[in-house]
Amino acid sequence: MHKIEKEISKCYFLSMAQENSADFSRYRELQKQLKEASDAYYKNGYSPMSDQDFDLGIKELEALEIAHPEWKNPDSLTSKVGSDLLNDFAKVTHAIPMLSISNAYSKEEVADFVRQAMDRVPSAKEWVCERKIDGISMALTYRNGILVRAATRGNGAIGDDVTANVKTIEDVPHKLLGAPDGDLEVRGEVYMEFKTFEFLNDELESRGQKGFQNPRNTASGTLKLKDPKECAKRKLRFIAYHIPESVGNKKHSDNLKLLEYYGFHTNDFWIAHSVEEIMQISDQILAGRDSLAYPIDGMVIKLNDLDLQQELGSTAKSPRWALAYKFKAERAYTPVRSIDFQVGRTGRITPVANFDPVWLAGTTVKRATLHNFDEVERLGIRVGDTVGVEKGGDIIPKIIEVDLSKRPEGTSPIEPPECCPVCGMPIAKKEGLVDLHCENLHCPATKQCLFEHFVSREAMNIENLGPALIAELIEAKKISQISDLYRLQKEDLVSLERVGEKSAQNVIDAIQKSKSLSLENFLFGIGIRFVGRTKARIFARRFRTLEKLEAATLEELTDIPDIGARIAQSVYDFFRDPNFKAEIDALVSLGLPTEFKGEVKDHFAGQTAVLTGTLPTLDRSTARKMIEDNGGKVSGSVSKKTTWVLAGEEAGSKLTKAQELGIPIHDEAWLLQELSNLEA
C-alpha cells in the first residue's frame, strides 16, 4: 500500500475527541505540501507530485478536519478550487462557477459515487462516459454566434481573459453555425497533441534549453503567453464538452451533438446504465489510449439527464453529478545506466537516475528523479539495477521499485557527493534537513532562482524584469551575479531578441528606482537562508542599518524576539562568508539601500494579530504590512498568545476559536481608525 494511503487509513480511525501534537503537525505539513503543489501546478505549470498523491493528500486533510473541525479555515484546499490566476490578464467573473470534478481511482469509489447519486435522486440511472483529456478547462462566450471572450477556470469564480490567445486555436470557431441569439457559453478543454509537444522539446534541446515537462503544462503556459503570435506557433487544440446553461435539450448527450452541429470538435461518448457497464467502457477507453494523438488520464462519468444534474447540485468545490475515474499509471521495467546529481535553481542537489528509454503514457522516458538520498536508501537503488518506472498522474516519471532478482554482481550503493557537481564547492547535509544544498552564491545552477527572487515585488520590486528576460540576460552573459543588474546599460537589453528601446528603458528605470527602497527589501532580496519577508523586516527594524546588522554577534541575533537559533546562525554565517560578503559590498557600492527607511512605530508593539476572512477594501498583504509597520506581529493561527483577531466576511474556524478563547475581534474599520488616530 502507498505510504499516503496508509496514513489515510490511520486518520480515519482517529478518535473524534482526540487531539494531539502529532496530528496537528501532520495537518500543517500536509497543508504546506499540498499548497505548494497546487500553486506550482496552477500558477507555474509544474507538477511536483502526481494527481493521485495530491488527491490522497486532500482526503487525508479532509479526515483530519472531520476529526478536528476547529483546525479548518476558509482557505483550506478541501473546500476550494485551485487557482491559476495571473496578474498579467484581465479578469472575468464566471456567471456559473467552473468547479473541479472529484476524482476516483477504484471501482469501489465509482460504485459509491453512483449509489450516493441514486440515494439523492432515485431516477439517476443513465450515465455518459467520456475520455478525460489532460488539458486546460476553458469557457468560451459567444454573442449572437460570434466569439467575444475566452476565460480560464481561474479559481472557479473568476478566470483570466485569454481571448486573444484562444482565437489562434484552429479548433475554436469564431462564428457558430445556427447559434441562438444572445449569449451562449461553451466549455471545453484546450490541449496539446503529443507530436506538437515532442517537436517543441526537440527544438528547445537543439538550442541547449530545458524542455517542457508534459503536454498539459505546456498548454497551460502557452495560454498565458503575452504574444498571440507565439501562442499560434504552439498549435494548441480544443474540444468542446459542456453547455452550462439550458438550450432546450434534456440530455447532456444531446448537447454534445448540438456542439458538433455548431462546428466544434466534441468528445466521443458512451452511454452506461450500471457500474458494471461504466467499468467496461473504462476498460475500452484504456485499451485504446496508446493509439490517441493526445493525452488522456482517465474517464469522466456524467449523469445524462440535465434536470437531474440540477437536482443533485454541487458542493462548494465539485458537482455531485460528475466524477473523474483516473487510470492507474502504466509501469515499465528498464535497467539503470547511471545516476547524476542535478543542482536545482535553489541549490538543492537531487539524484537523478538515467535508464534505457521506455514508452510511458504517450512519451519516451529515459530519466527519473530520486528526490533525495533518503529515497535512494529507501529504494536501495544501484547502477545496473532493473527498476519499475511509472509516470505519476501521467506526468512525472518516478521509480517505484527495484527488481532485486535481476541485480548484477559487483554493484555498489550510491554515495552522496561531497562537492557541488556544478561549481565544485564543498557541501554538507545540515542537521534536521533531508536535502543537500549548494550554498555558493555564485553557483551557476542557482542564478536564475536568485535573480527571480531578488527582483520580486516583495523584495526589490524591479518591474518588467521577468523570468524569461532574466534567462536571456544570463544566456547572453550580461549578468552572472546580482550586482550585475545594477551595471546593466540600455544597450545590453536592446541587443536581446524582442526587446525594444522603450522596454529596455523601462527595465533600466525600474532597476534604478529599486535603490530608493528600504533595508528590509534588500535583506529579503539577497536570499539569506530561512530569512523571509517578516524576519527581514524584524532585522531591519532592530538594527536600522546594514553595517550594524553585519557587526551583530550571534548572541545579539539570538536574543531578538521571534528569531530562533537556526535563523540567527544563518544570518551570522551569511555575513561572514567571503563570497556573500564580497557580493554585498559590491551591491552597497552600487547604491542599494542600507538603512531602514520606515518609521519605528510601536502602537501594536508586543501584540500578536491573526487575519481571517475577506476584508472589504484591504487585501491580506496590505493589512499585514499595516500591522507590522506599527510594531505588531501577524500569526497564521489563533492561540492563547493571540492579542486580537482582524476578521472579514466568511471568517471561519479562526474566528470561532478566538470567540471560544475570549480573544477580542476587530474589523477593518477598527484597524483603519486605530491608524488614523495615530496620524491625527
Query: Which of 242-256, 318-332, 419-433 is the least confident region?
Result: 419-433
Regarding whether 583 and 512 lie in a shared domain, the answer is no
- Reported as a single tens digit per residue, the pLDDT across 264-302 is 999 899 999 999 999 999 999 998 887 888 989 899 999
Please state the rounded mean pLDDT for residues 211-232.
Answer: 86
* Residue ending a domain, choose from 473, 489, 516: 516
φ/ψ region of 206 (left if φ > 0, alpha if ψ in -120 to 50, else beta) reads alpha
119 labeled part of a ligand binding site: no
Regarding whether 150 and 249 lie in a shared domain, the answer is yes
Evaluate whether residue 113 is within a structural domain: yes
Regarding whether 304 and 254 lie in a shared domain, the answer is yes
Please state the rounded mean pLDDT for residues 637-642.
Answer: 88
Evaluate whether residue 414 is within a structural domain: no
- Reported as a single tens digit per residue, the pLDDT across 484-501 is 999 999 999 999 987 889
381 labeled part of a ligand binding site: no
DSSP state of 426: B
52 labeled part of a ligand binding site: yes
Regarding whether 170 and 271 lie in a shared domain, the answer is yes
- Reported as a single tens digit per residue, the pLDDT across 419-465 is 999 888 888 666 656 678 887 766 777 888 789 889 988 899 998 89
Regarding whether 352 and 450 lie in a shared domain, the answer is no
* Residue ending a domain, choose from 326, 343, 359: 326
Query: Which of 350-354, 594-598, 601-605 is the least confident region?
Result: 601-605
Highest mean pLDDT among 136-145, 203-212, 214-223, 434-443: 136-145
Regarding whether 293 and 274 lie in a shared domain, the answer is yes
Q: Which residue has the higher pLDDT, 402 or 70?
A: 402
Please state the rounded mean pLDDT for residues 132-145.
Answer: 94
pLDDT band at 562 (very low <50, low <70, confident <90, very high): confident
Regarding whether 153 and 179 lie in a shared domain, the answer is yes
438 labeled part of a ligand binding site: yes
CATH number at residue 465: 1.10.150.20
- Reported as a single tens digit per residue, the pLDDT across 16-53 is 333 445 677 777 777 777 777 776 655 554 555 666 67
Contact 295, 326 (CB under 8 A): no
Q: Which residue has the higher pLDDT, 668 or 207?
A: 668
Q: How far is CA 333 from the centre of its chain?
A: 30
54 labeled part of a ligand binding site: yes
Query: Which of 107-111, 154-158, 560-564 is the least confident region?
Result: 560-564
* Residue ending a domain, choose from 547, 562, 589: 589
Number of domains making up the chain: 6
Provide the H-helix boundaries in 131-227: 163-166, 194-206, 215-223
Q: Is the pLDDT of residue 1 over 80?
A: no
Regarding whether 62 and 36 lie in a shared domain, the answer is yes
Nearest Cα residue to 587 out of 474, 490, 511: 511
Evaluate whether residue 311 is within a structural domain: yes
Regarding whether 448 and 311 lie in a shared domain, the answer is no
189 labeled part of a ligand binding site: yes
Regarding whether 656 and 547 lie in a shared domain, the answer is no
CATH number at residue 70: 1.10.287.610
Triad 252, 255, 258: Cα angle to 5°: 160
355 labeled part of a ligand binding site: no
Regarding whether 293 and 214 lie in a shared domain, the answer is yes
**What pLDDT score does 445 carry?**
78
Contact 152, 84 (CB under 8 A): yes
Q: Rounded distance, CA 425 to CA 357, Å?
A: 32
Rounded (10°) angle between helices 668-679 and 620-629: 40
Please state the rounded mean pLDDT for residues 350-372.
Answer: 85
Evaluate whether residue 241 is within a structural domain: yes
Q: Rounded distance, CA 651 to CA 236, Å?
A: 41
Q: Rounded distance, CA 585 to CA 446, Å?
A: 20
Q: Which residue has the higher pLDDT, 105 or 620?
A: 105
Taking the alpha carbons at both ends of the chain, their separation in whole angstroms is 65
Catalytic residues: 132
Domain containing 507 equals: 444-516
**What pLDDT score does 676 carry?**
76
**What pLDDT score does 42 carry?**
56
374 labeled part of a ligand binding site: no
Strand ranges, E, within 218-330: 237-242, 269-272, 296-303, 322-326
Please state the rounded mean pLDDT for residues 329-357.
Answer: 87
Please state the rounded mean pLDDT for residues 155-176.
Answer: 93
Regarding whether 172 and 73 lie in a shared domain, the answer is no
